[in-house]
A = this chain, B = another copy of it.
Amino acid sequence: MTTLIQKLREERPLIHCITNIVVANFQANGLLALGASPVMADAIEEAAEIAAVSSCTVLNTGTLKKDTVTSMLLAGKSANQQGIPVVLDPVGAGATAFRKEAILRILKEVDVMLIRCNAGELAAIAGVDWRFKGVDAGEGEADITALAEEVARTHNCVVAVTGPWDIVADQHGTSCVTGGHPLMSHLTGAGCLLSAVAGAFLAVAEEDPFNAVTTALAFYKKAGEKAAEHASGPGDFKIHFLNALYALEEDVIQDCQFIRQPQGNDKGMTLS
């Protein structure tokens, strides 16, 4: 049976990223290392045209500008018309009113297949209290699983909330992905690249986006573990991480059994 990563490396899907100035290079190199083909294009004049010929469009709100919001709406709607998956990475959703409004507008006007975010960004989208801290996860008391399920229902999409462990929710249930390494939190754009990587998996998944997302998340965490074996700090961790995305096969996640729990089962989040 062909795995998703094998299919991805064979098809080399074109992943259109409207992204920020901090992570654009890392996202492009990460997608290339994985086996996908990145194209970054955020001008209003071309965003829809690029989205229409890509296999996935990834909208990332880091270093967001007013014009970029327009480009994201154009690209998102163009992708929707073509039936191409759209991933939203709502970077800093709770950091400012400008970002939150832009993100809620995108969610209203574009049919998003996956929201990949941290806990604070999820809280901002759900409109609950949170102690936001820039683009970090921040701190709060909310039940992340319940919130992820609510947002998945409201926006009819898959929601992946990542951190030391990842929650993946859709309208039907929730899984948890464990693993990874603390050095991932010292690498800027680790979440942003993950959104693009999940987009590349969605681009080659013929059905079952929930499974494509959990597979991408588990693969990414395994790449982090592999990289950490060789790293002495965040500098060379990044190098080994790109090498791991390039070298690993999907069998690294063969021991990961994602038990999908129905929504509302709060004993759910286990990985056996």
Residue A26 is within 8 A (CB to CB) of chain B in the complex: yes
Partner of A45, one of B41, B54, B66, B233: B66
Q: Are B38 and A188 interface neighbours, CB within 8 A? A: yes
Please measure, in the bound complex, the distance between the C-alpha atom of A49 and the C-alpha atom of B234, giving whole angstroms: 30
Q: Are B235 and A33 interface neighbours, CB within 8 A? A: yes
Interface size counted on chain A using CB atoms at 8 A: 62
Q: Are A39 and B234 interface neighbours, CB within 8 A? A: no
Q: Are A186 and B246 interface neighbours, CB within 8 A? A: yes
Residue A65 is within 8 A (CB to CB) of chain B in the complex: yes
Q: Are B21 and A234 interface neighbours, CB within 8 A? A: no
Residue A126 is within 8 A (CB to CB) of chain B in the complex: no
Residues of chain B within 8 A (CB-CB) of A40 are 20-22, 62-63
Interface-forming stretch among A114-122, A130-138, A144-152, A210-218? A130-138
Q: Are B99 and A33 interface neighbours, CB within 8 A? A: no
Residue A128 is within 8 A (CB to CB) of chain B in the complex: no
Q: Are B25 and A188 interface neighbours, CB within 8 A? A: yes
Please measure, in the bound complex, the distance between the C-alpha atom of A187 and the C-alpha atom of B49, giving whole angstroms: 25
How far, in Å, is A17 (CB) from chain B's closest CB?
9
Please measure, in the bound complex, the distance between the C-alpha atom of A186 and the C-alpha atom of B95, giving whole angstroms: 34
Q: Are B235 and A240 interface neighbours, CB within 8 A? A: yes
- Among A132, A188, A235, max chain B CB count under 10 A is at A235
Q: Are B233 and A41 interface neighbours, CB within 8 A? A: no
Residue A32 is within 8 A (CB to CB) of chain B in the complex: yes
Residue A24 is within 8 A (CB to CB) of chain B in the complex: yes
Residue A1 is within 8 A (CB to CB) of chain B in the complex: no
Partner of A33, one of B37, B50, B95, B233: B233
Residues of chain B within 8 A (CB-CB) of A96 are 41, 45-46, 49-50
Residues of chain B within 8 A (CB-CB) of A95 are 39, 41, 46, 49-50, 53
Partner of A32, one of B20, B45, B186: B186
A71 — nearest CB in chain B belongs to which residue?
Answer: B65
Residues on A close to B: CB < 8 A? 14, 16, 20-26, 28-29, 32-33, 37-46, 49-50, 53-54, 62-66, 92, 95-99, 132-136, 185-189, 232-236, 238-244, 246-247
